[in-house]
Amino acid sequence: MSNAGTLNDQPAGTGGGVNAISAQVLGNSSFNFGAMNADLSNSVGGVFDLKLKSGNQEFFQYTAQASLIGFDLMADGPIGEKTQLLVNYRYSFTGLLSQFGVDFGGESIGYQDLSVVSKINLRNEGKLKFFVIGGDSNNDFEHTGFANAERQKDLSDINYKGNLAIVGIRYDKNSLSFSYALSGSFESRNETLYDELDNASFYLNTDDDRMINSALLQKSLSFKNGSANIQLGSNIYNWRSDNPTSVGKSEWNKGLGFIGADWGQFIGPQFNSELGIKYYNSFSESAFDYRAKLSYLLDGSSIYVSFGNYSQLLNPDNQYFNQVGIPTFSEADRSTDFITSQRSVIGYEWSTSNWSGNFESFLYDFSNVQVLGLGDTGARSSGVSANVQRNTSDGWFALIGATYFNSIYSGNLNNRYNARYNGVANLGKEIELRKQEKRFEISMRQTVQGGNWYQSFDNLLGSESPDRLLLAAPVDYIQTTPYLRTDLRIQMTKAKDKSTRTFSLDIQNLLNRENASFFYYDTFLNEELQNTQLGMIPNITYRIDF
């Protein structure tokens, strides 16, 4: 569903509204940012490190889950003495309703996905893991006719279809590992516009294909008071677009090879050092990353300082910091293969038996970025962040975090996402009932964020495409209202000898606030409008593990 909620209703290169990798197959995963190690590469922002579960080695277990998001069925267990298998299938609830003729604001929406993970314990003490993930989604909208139209979109038939696939293998033996993955997404969106007499008058058809080949060889080393990690790998990208609304047919192919190492070393009783280097080569240009972090260890806390150079290979969806809304594939527009930032962080972290937290001051400096309307310029993000969390040792748990920042281009010009602040507070309580056979949980989460920036339409009126909005251009700023959302979760779990049953109620946006999404110019109404996100979204889930 990568077209859902986008400004131009076109497929986005940054993902969609639903994670195609079901939580049923995910293991311990982490979101990495700030002073990242050198082994997390090819990113100038953060890295979401998703890890897949391995199958149960002792017996088969099953999970069935039904919710307003979808229906999940999972089987997990051993096949023979050395092989474990995990299979999960999910079908969307909205897709089922669409089969019965139910629509959502005039749209029929559906998706399904299948995940298979297999792990084999080899005779030479090695481990081999295979994984296959596939899914498809659709979003169809039927025009209402000119007489019943209330907005520009009501004059169009829109049919979106997306498919994705991931195939991978990983081999581990002792401290050596090798992994390979091939991933791809294939999306099409066809739009037919109708005139006042309900005759088809114009067509907007787009096709976008993206494929990534990734390979990584990794060796870990241990030595006195320290450890090291050496990497050798490559990423190859193939992107193709057929989009007559912008540049027509175009293709973009690029790859990079890299080699790197990172290591950590205790220096005496109170200092810990981390160093890392990585070299990239895109076969036409190279980049060199370096990372350094020094921590001063105290009793239950530490003070750290880090500095590093972070590089990322540009692609058609991130070559510009802001765009009209449709990717540009022209190689002539690219002055460099890589975007690079220098990252400085000073922080303090602490922990007790029940509480932990950290405070950071950060500066991300980009010496040369490409911005539509500005050309080559510099950019900078700086600010402070803090978070505190409480574990669930006595039932109570909490996670509270906030960031205040300023993200600008040279000349003190706002970029689109310079919201200035964001924060989240999640508080909850777990209660054991009837000698731990039942457990009740209730939690609330409050999210707050400043508004994003847009350009007004004053200089677009009368143009050929007044419905295409330049984002965060250097003049005529408009800022959306702050984003506020309150969520509630209530869960009841009952455990028996051979099964566990869970019933939960999640209410997203409990106060039904209409948060701003983006501005757009409606050519049917001939006025500037602000699109809003969804209001209250309740989700009831029933799950049984057996």
pLDDT digits (tens, 9 = 90+) for 425-437: 999 999 888 766 8
Find the angle CA(92)-CA(243)-CA(161) to the nearest 5 degrees: 15
- Please determine, for residue 328, whether its predicted confidence score (pLDDT) is greater than 60: no
**Residue 468: what pLDDT?**
42
Dihedral of the alpha carbons of 235, 238, 243, 244, in degrees to the nearest 10: 130
The encoded tokens of residue 313 equal 């290979």
- Residue that wins the pLDDT comparison between 207 and 350: 350
pLDDT surpasses 90 at 215: yes
Is pLDDT at 98 greater than 90 in this prediction? no
Contact present, 94 and 78 (Cβ < 8 Å): no
SS3 at position 95: helix
The number of beta carbons lying within 10 Å of the beta carbon of residue 148 is: 8
What is residue 104's DSSP assignment?
A: B
Q: Is 147 helix (H, G, I), strand (E, B) or coil?
A: helix
CA 134/CA 114 separation, integer angstroms:
5
Residue 336 or residue 450, greater confidence: 450
Tell me which amino acid residue 219 is: K
Q: 10 Å Cβ neighbour count for 222?
A: 8
- The C-alpha atoms of residue 383 and residue 400 are separated, in whole angstroms, by 17
- Coil, strand or helix at 416: coil
Dihedral sign of CA atoms 261, 266, 270, 271 in order: negative
For the segment 25-50, the average pLDDT, to the nearest whole number, is 83
What is the band of 246 on the pLDDT scale with cuts at 50, 70, 90? low
Strand, coil or helix: 94: helix
In the predicted structure, residue 404 carries a pLDDT above the cut 90:
yes
pLDDT of 208 above 50: yes
Q: What distance lies between CA 345 and its chain's CA centroid?
A: 23
Q: For 9-36, what is each residue's pLDDT tens digit?
A: 666 666 777 788 888 888 888 888 877 7
Task: Count CB neighbours of 526 within 10 A.
Answer: 10
**Dihedral over Cα of 515, 518, 522, 526: its sign:** positive
SS3 23: helix
Looking at every residue in the chain, the average pLDDT score rounds to 84
Three-state secondary structure string covering 423-472: EEEEEEEEEEECCCCEEEEEEEEEEEECCCEEECCCCCCCCCCCCCCCCC
Q: Is the pLDDT of residue 297 over 70?
A: yes
Distance between CA atoms of residues 58 and 52, nearest Å: 18
Pick the range with the lowest mean pLDDT from 148-152, 188-192, 460-464: 460-464
Between β-strands 421-433 and 453-455, what pairing exists: parallel, antiparallel or unpaired?
A: unpaired
Q: Give just the sign of the alpha carbon dihedral 351, 44, 27, 187.
A: positive
Give the span between the Cα atoms of 152 and 20, in whole angstroms: 31
Residue-level pLDDT at 10: 65
411 or 505, which is more confident? 505
**Rounded to a whole number, what is the largest CA-CA distance in the chain?**
82
Query: What pLDDT is attached to residue 35?
Result: 76
What is the Cα–Cα distance from 227 to 239, expressed in whole angstroms? 38
Supply the pLDDT for residue 410.
84
d(CA 262, CA 239): 31
Report the pLDDT value the prediction gives residue 199, as an integer from 0 to 100: 86
* Cα–Cα distance measured from residue 275 to residue 428, given in angstroms and rounded to the nearest whole number: 39
Segment among 56-60, 222-226, 439-443, 456-460 with least mean pLDDT: 456-460
Note the pLDDT tens digit of each residue in 339-388. 889 999 999 999 998 899 999 999 999 988 877 667 778 889 999 999 99
Looking at residue 489, its pLDDT comes to 96
* CB distance 72 to 11 below 8 Å: no
Number of Cβ within 10 Å of residue 458's Cβ equals 9
Distance CA 365, CA 386 (A): 21
Is 474 a residue whose pLDDT tops 60?
no
The yes-or-no verdict on residue 115 having pLDDT over 90 is: yes
pTM: 0.82
Judge whether residue 108 has pLDDT over 70: yes
Q: Residue 500: what pLDDT?
A: 92
